[in-house]
Amino acid sequence: MVEPLAAEMTVYFYAILFARYPEVRPMFPPGMDAQRGRLLRALLRIVDLVDDPENLVRFCGHLGRDHRKFGTLAAHFPAVGECLLASLARYAGPAWTADIAAAWTKAYGVVADVMISAAEQDEAVRPAVWPATVVHRAPRGNGIAEITVRPHMPYEYAAGQYVSVETPWWPKQWRYYSPANAPREDGTVTLHVRAVAGGSVSNALVHRSAVGDVLQLGPPMGDMVLDAAVFRDLLCVAGGTGLAPIRALVEEVARRGGHHRVDLFLGARTGAELYGVDDMLRMAQRHHWLTIRGAVSHEYIAGIRGSLPDVLAEYGPWYQHDVYLSGPAPMVVSASEMLTRNGTSPERIHHDPFETPVLSMS
């Protein structure tokens, strides 16, 4: 009932939240478009998972831990719940019965309890944010910059995870990027950032950041990690800056002694967009277990031509591999569908969940 009006409903929700509880307004960025989109995706995800308690609790736990960086406190949850239920009631109209209201009230209580509990447990073991100084930056062409930061406190993450970043130029606006390296002894983290049209944070990082600037990192998130693999053979597929977490995973395989065989496919529309190939080819020269193939879909050049799913089908089968996919959502979806059709178990296909509020690319 509400989903067709969901965008309008989220505007109403934040309007009444800020009117009734003005003290929470400073926790949010001046521009609310991205924030409203995140709330909407989170709500839809919670409804999708309502019959899957294990994954629902995991998702809400991630949300609770991630919300610490906003300064969210347990006392804020009743206010949010009151305004959320009021918004649902308004947009559901006559469908909002006493039974539905009771069910949503109970559901929100469960979500809030899980988020609060996860945040409290997290608070006992680590900070909410990590200040990190930019120590190196380099242009990689095609609107992409490589930015290396050194967190001021130990920052523990696993290769393949992603992190949220806040810049000094756009306070309260967090965007998510994947480290392009496995954990290093010196603690530095390298991000590959593409300047997105209209993307305030990405453009600031690519065009404005300099050595010495201090960014804020949120907690690492995501389950696309090497420990999720069952098979010895890995298929890694990267489109665009989706190469970053895949590169980190390849580094992690090397760090553990190269006990996996890795087939890596890089895809792009044109040869100019196929960034990072030279770097990965150098890695393949050092590591006999790594094979690299690049595919271009919209330009006639030497090498493999075609979309990544078509190229994967040609070089398969891959049903005895763990698969790691990273890149634009349409590529991930089409590659996943092709692999599943050709016998790869869905449980062996690893990628970040694009329906969660964490995959904002601006």
CATH superfamily of 130-217: Translation factors (2.40.30.10)
Tell me what the mean pLDDT of segment 335-356 comes to. 84
Query: Does the pLDDT of residue 163 top 50, yes or no?
Result: yes
Residue with tokens 């989170």: 42
pTM across the whole model:
0.82
Strands 130-141 and 214-217 turn out to be antiparallel
Cα 224 to Cα 70, 96, 322, distances in angstroms: 25, 39, 11
Query: Does the pLDDT of residue 260 top 90, yes or no?
Result: yes
Residues of the chain above pLDDT 70, percent = 93
What confidence category does residue 354 fall into, taking pLDDT thresholds of 50, 70 and 90? low
C-alpha dihedral sign at 238, 34, 78, 4: negative
60: buried, middle or exposed (CB in 10 Å: 19+, 13-18, 0-12)?
buried
Q: Which residue has the higher pLDDT, 302 or 106?
A: 106
Where are the CATH 3.40.50.80 domain residues in the chain? Answer: 226-350
Rg of the chain over all Cα atoms, to the nearest angstrom: 22
Q: What is the CB neighbour count within 10 angstroms for residue 170?
A: 17
Query: Does the pLDDT of residue 301 top 70, yes or no?
Result: no
**What is the C-alpha to C-alpha distance for residues 214 and 6, in angstroms, rounded to an integer?**
37
Tell me what the mean pLDDT of segment 93-116 comes to. 92
What confidence category does residue 334 fall into, taking pLDDT thresholds of 50, 70 and 90? confident
Where are the CATH 2.40.30.10 domain residues in the chain? Answer: 130-217
118 close to 61: Cβ distance less than 8 angstroms: yes
Lookup: tokens for 321? 């591999």
Most confident of 1-10, 52-61, 146-155, 189-198: 146-155
Average pLDDT, the chain: 87
Q: Which pLDDT belongs to residue 55?
A: 85
Q: Domain 226-350, what fold?
A: Rossmann fold (3.40.50)
Query: Does the pLDDT of residue 62 top 90, yes or no?
Result: no
66 close to 218: Cβ distance less than 8 angstroms: yes
**What is the C-alpha to C-alpha distance for residues 37 and 19, in angstroms, rounded to an integer?**
20
Q: Which pLDDT belongs to residue 2?
A: 78
Query: Does the pLDDT of residue 95 top 70, yes or no?
Result: yes
Where are the CATH 1.10.490.10 domain residues in the chain? Answer: 3-123
Structural class in CATH, domain 3-123: mainly alpha
Report residue 316: phi and psi, to 5°: -70, -165
What confidence category does residue 304 fall into, taking pLDDT thresholds of 50, 70 and 90? low
Query: Does the pLDDT of residue 160 top 70, yes or no?
Result: yes
Going by C-alpha positions, the residue among 289, 290, 346 that lies closest to residue 318 is 346
